[in-house]
Structure 1
Amino acid sequence: MFSDFFLKSFRILLLPFALIYWLAIVIRNWLFDKNISRSSAFALPLICVGNLSVGGTGKSPMVEYLVRLLKDRYKVATLSRGYKRKTKGYSLAGPSTTALEIGDEPMQFHLKFPEVPVAVGEERIVAIPQLLHDKPDTQAIILDDAFQHRSVRAGLNIILTDHSNLFTRDFYLPTGDLRDLKSSYKRAQIIVVTKCDPAITLEEKQKIIREINPQPGQQVFFTAIEYGEMYHILDHMGYKPEANVEVLLVTGIANPMPLENWLEDHSQSYQVIRYSDHHIFTIDDLKEIRKKFEAMEAENKIILTTEKDAVRLVKFNQEILGWPIYVIPVRHHFLFNEGERFDQSVVNYIQDFDKSAKN
């Protein structure tokens, strides 16, 4: 509690820098709005998944949701920046690709959907033609975390906002978490309020919709986090935890609180080792993890991590051989029985794009 209070107090002191940052993004967006800075469109459907803030709003699970929805209907590919990778420029994932080469989230997509082209590139306007050159049969591209990168104009923009930190209540970096103007939400076709309590009421839903104030034609959806069956990090064998299990949660994600809350209800007790978002694990980290795990007194104990963290840990396959490290998948679950409406909106966008291209 004290550390959170100190952090919030310190961020308030940074208000002058937040105002400078706000002015910079106002000017940047104005240049794009006035076509002084140009946006480029491409002759295929582009679906952008993004947000207005830094931190975990659930972009990676949403990209995975879209891949599952579309991969059996269209030749779909994903394009990410490849945050914290050790390489630069455009790269297309292959059989021997590692997370260090393309980043943890793209590596996660590549491992889960090996039949789907997964590419990275800081400059998407350059990377898209290269991706289409390598995979000329591509029919649609999902752009991961590209909403604020306006040099490419997507036809369908899906922005996510965390229920516990709605963009309407946030402030600009570094005092708050906003990295884009609040008014930029108007450029999106779909807004998804993520990480909701599954028991959220219709009254609260309508209250949030009024607060967001969607523009004509904009759709607002609500999702909750859904955790899948755990599996071992190396052999991918499924695992169902017993009620008396003690868990060491190892995580380097932006917001581990939903998972910690889940563990409160699904474990005897748990401890946490938190690393920064996209943390690159080292041998020293493994030593720290092992030391803390061995100090846990319970006989029935496991190490738990997320899929995003797992792709950065699996490189130590020899060092962690025999360790009870399990991975827990995360998915979006659409509330109020609106999943089919969301799915149809995405499919309709591609179908309408194809029809207009033929005419």
Structure 2
Amino acid sequence: MQLLRWILFPFTILYTLVIWVRNKLYDHRILKSRSFEIPTIVIGNLAVGGAGKSPLAQKLISYFQGRYKVATLSRGYGRKTKGFRYVQIADQASQVGDEPLQFKKNFPDVSISVDENRIKGIEILEKDHDLIILDDAYQHRKVKPRCSILLFEYQSLLQPIYLLPTGNFRDTFDQTRRADLVLITKCPADIPIENQKIIEDKIRKHNQKASVYYSKIGYKPIKPLNKGSEDKELSQIPKHILLLTGIANPRPLVEYLINAEIKSEHLKFPDHHQFDEFDYKVIRSRFEKMQSQHNDVIVLTTEKDAQRLSLDEIADIPFYYIPIDIHINQEEDFFRDLEKALQF
């Protein structure tokens, strides 16, 4: 796979050139960006998926919802509908996307919306809200936000940076300069000083003003997808599980289970995978095989994947999901800098 990526390096050069030209057109205002009076926060990353945007969006919603009328706006990746739509708890992921549906279930009183046209979406939301959080919109340069938060996964900054298809970046690294805050995610418990220097040297080459913060993943008690079951601590689940993921980067969860001495068989699907009848047969077959070997077995998935699973298909399987959280070092300072950027 890595060899194929290097074989495709000429396409990386072409893609880099296209992205560079597009950014220059916006920089020189040949292509127009629009700002709004309502405070807007953009969350995004330069690489493909897996940086922790959704946990951060939820932390921002939780922080601001008590003081302001907050709305979120996402594209609704993977949905089969078009145009602006307010997300309802009874919606399916195919109608609104898995992450917006997750937000709505966790924050039922907050306006969660989707629209592939961010300008139109903001125009609708600004009439009745005080603050709009735009998820995964850093590359959407038609909107000029009040504040931009740029996320980088820790490991991605310790490796050479190449754009697709050779590397995992979808935008040129110099676009770091547009960020008001930079958040390094999925960090180890102790960050070596030399690694921190490598990371901050890369960022400061393009952005001298942004505050740089570090964060770690946290996992909450496991919740059941089946009715009648109860939440469980990790220590309460069987030592053999079937792990089901359809996310960009399941590695932190796999490592978390290993550290907890839980042995998992990993059934891995692509990010935002839409589960079909064949997938459910595979899941059931793998579960039954494990059950015959270990007797007490559960299936564990992520909260995002749980939005795309059919409860009817898994009703007789002990299915659980594990909510994710994000712990920001110097969190009070992070939110102080965020409010300063928003001019609150």
Equivalent of residue 289 in structure 2, options 292, 295, 304: 295
2:268 corresponds to 1:238: no
Letter in 2 for 1:193: I
Shift of 1:15: 0.7
Unaligned runs of at least 5 residues, structure 1: 1-6, 354-359
AA partner of residue 49 (structure 1): I
Q: Go from structure 1 to structure 2 and tell me whether the alpha carbon gap of 1:268 and 1:53 turns closer, same or farther (over 3 Å shift).
A: closer
> Which amino acid in 2 is paired with 1:240?
E
* Partner Cα distance (1:219, 1:279) in 2: 35
Asked if 1:309 corresponds to 2:305, the answer is: yes
Question: Among residues 194, 197, 202, which one is paired with 2:188 in the alignment?
Answer: 197
Which residue, 126, 147, 154 being the options, matches 2:145?
A: 154
Q: Which moved more, 1:86-95 or 1:240-249?
A: 240-249
Q: Distance in 2 between matches of 1:82 and 1:21?
A: 25
Which residues of 2 match residues 319-334 of structure 1 at below 5 A? 319-334=313-328
Relative to the length of structure 1, the TM-score reads: 0.90
5+ residue gaps, structure 2, are none
Q: TM-score, normalised by structure 2?
A: 0.94
Q: Which amino acid is the alignment partner of residue 231 of structure 2?
A: G
Task: Call closer, same or farther: CA 1:334–1:294 in 2, change over 3 Å.
Answer: same
1:212 CA displacement: 2.1
2:119 aligns with 125
* Partner SS for 2:308: helix
Aligned residue pair count: 339
2:255 is aligned with 1:264: no
Letter in 1 for 2:218: E
Deviating 4+ runs (over 3 angstroms) = 201-204, 241-244
Deviations along 1:63-121, one digit per CA (max 9) or x if unpaired, are 11111111111111100011110111111112432211110011110111011101111
CA contact (8 A) 1:168 1:211 kept: no
> Which one of 140, 149, 166 corresponds to residue 175 of structure 1?
166
Partner of 1:3 in structure 2? Answer: none
Tell me whether 1:215 sits opposite 2:207 in the alignment.
yes
Contact 1:243 1:266 in 2 (8 A): no
Q: Report the Cα distance in structure 2 between the residues aligned to 1:204 and 1:19, rounded to whole angstroms.
A: 28
Match for 2:132 among 141, 144, 156?
141
Deviation at residue 283 of structure 1 after TM alignment: 2.0
Whether the 8 Å CA contact 2:303–2:323 is kept in 1: the answer is: yes
Counterparts of 1:187 and 1:284, CA distance in 2 = 44
Secondary structure in 2 matching 1:176: coil
* 1:247–1:267 CA contact under 8 A, matched in 2: no
Percent identity over the alignment is 39
Alpha-carbon distance, 1:211 to partner: 3.0
What is the rounded CA distance, in whole Å, between the counterparts of 1:12 and 1:152 in structure 2? 34
**Bigger Cα displacement from structure 2, 25-34 vs 93-102:** 93-102
